[in-house]
Amino acid sequence: MRKKLIAGNWKMNLDFNEAMTLIAELCEAVDGNLDQKDVLIFPPALYTRHAHEFLRNASSGIQLGVQDVAATTDGAFTGEVSASMAKVAGADYALVGHSERRSYFHEDGAVLLEKTKRSLEHGLNVVFCCGEVLEDRKSGQHFDVVERQLHEVLSGLNNSEWDQITIAYEPVWAIGTGETATPEQAQEMHAFIRNWVKEQQGDARAAVVRILYGGSMKPDNAAALLQQPDVDGGLIGGASLKADQFTAIISA
């Protein structure tokens, strides 16, 4: 049985005091309820070390990630944060391939492959995002798009590297639009992704890899989505910024 993973991507939100308050509220709300699920937060990179120390001092089971890492190792790359820096700061995970990075920063498969490699090399687990835009869905190309995104980055990984991979499906047309894929649509794509993993890595890997849904999951739709057999959790955006909403999704 795959353990559910509920991850909160805070994006570029919350000042320092708000972020620490939210972490404290989450620790109080969920730390006694982590036997059957994992909880992961992706605060802004500047807060990584503070978040790590807060969680450690609270003996919290909440895990910590960074929203992005550089495609290169340490060096003359102004403004970048390397995977090694993220790991030393206390991160357990790196988010790679989020739709906003693909769209706003024009990150393609080649760049995302390097980010994945750097993360794995430095002991970070990777939540790799894939998903289609509305035009792809309307034209019936959504499976082809997702398969290409998966193949560009994950097809060359070895078995031990796959131990550090979680996949997040983002129907881009359902992010921040108020739209949400139906549970049936989510299950259809998650099953497609799991079958792709099976073709690449075999039955055993496909049975254990976690595939998250990342398209406007909220307290009122979380239970229906999480009940789908191939939906192993959620990558939550806006709802992860409010402790009551995030914990309601965790409880779902």
CA–CA gap between residue 58 and residue 24 (Å, rounded): 9
One-letter identity of residue 227: Q
CA–CA gap between residue 77 and residue 66 (Å, rounded): 18
In angstroms, the first-to-last Cα distance of the chain is 17
Active site residues: 98, 170
Joined tokens for residue 226: 């999480």
Of 218, 205, 235, 196, residue with least CA distance to 98? 235
Based on the number of CB atoms within 10 Å of its own CB, is 35 exposed (0-12), middle (13-18) or buried (19 or more)? exposed
Joined tokens for residue 185: 């649509």
Phi, psi of 123 (to 5 degrees): 80, 15
The number of beta carbons lying within 10 Å of the beta carbon of residue 141 is: 14
Of 72, 135, 67, residue with least CA distance to 100? 67
**Which helix H or strand E contains 149, and what residues bound it?**
helix 142-154
